[in-house]
Amino acid sequence: MKGYKIIFLIKSDTIILDNYTIKDIPGSSGRLDVISRCIISALLNGKGFDMNYIIWVFFKRYKTLKFDPFDLDYKEFPKNELLLSDYIVKLLKAEDSADLNRDHNPLKSILVENTSFLEALKELKKENKSNIFVLKESGKKFLDVFSTQLLKKELYIIIGNQAEDFINSEAFLNLNFPELSLGAKSYLASQVIRLIKLNINLFL
């Protein structure tokens, strides 16, 4: 099962960087620290990069960042949310590659796109992907739906956004993605990612 691939998708509507300062990342960025924790939870496993996991982050007011460990250098990758958040800000604000080179930004090799969350989901649907799931407390139990067979495919798991208003919207519900639940308890998005990885390890 070494070849399986899980792609997490998360949407962030709250990030505003006009008054960003590294001295107060949560307050000055609209909680970019939350997103950084999700990225770290997805990509790292305590020993290095978790090469089976990718995370796409859709910033409503900015661009979409696609973090694939194959595009990153583990030695240079910022491993705490403070440094990671600062480099994400520099990446989102960069005018061109020269800016990234000047900053020696370790994220400069990741994929940066202008695709919105809804556009990306519609494109996946158009490609007739049958392996896209959304995390919701009202969904079917994770372990009842998941299987070793699913891990033979490229899986997309939608975490949603911080307020979950988008995954409850008509535009999203019309896409009719199957729902998975980790239980009735509410978790932070980074905790959700770690729990999913722990559950997937049960099938390996």
Q: What are the tens digits of pLDDT across the range 170-195?
A: 888 888 888 888 887 778 889 999 99
Report if pTM > 0.75.
yes
Pick the CATH number of 1-204 from 3.30.365.10, 3.40.50.2300, 3.40.1280.10, 2.40.50.100: 3.40.1280.10
CA dihedral 204, 68, 177, 143 (to 10 degrees): 20
Q: What digits encode the pLDDT tens for the residues 81-101?
A: 999 999 999 999 887 666 666
* Residue ranges of domains in the chain: 1-204
> So what's the pLDDT on residue 144?
85
> Which residue type sits at 162?
Q
Residues in the chain: 204
Burial of 104 (0-12, 13-18, 19+ CB in 10 A): exposed
Tell whether the model's pLDDT for residue 3 goes beyond 90. Answer: no
Residue with tokens 């049960």: 202
Tell whether the model's pLDDT for residue 66 goes beyond 80. Answer: yes
Q: How far apart are CA 11 and CA 56, in angstroms?
A: 8
Could you give the residue ranges of the DSSP H alpha helices within the chain? 25-29, 32-43, 81-93, 97-102, 117-126, 142-145, 170-173, 189-201
Q: What digits encode the pLDDT tens for the residues 124-135?
A: 888 766 689 998
pLDDT above 90: percentage of residues in the chain: 45
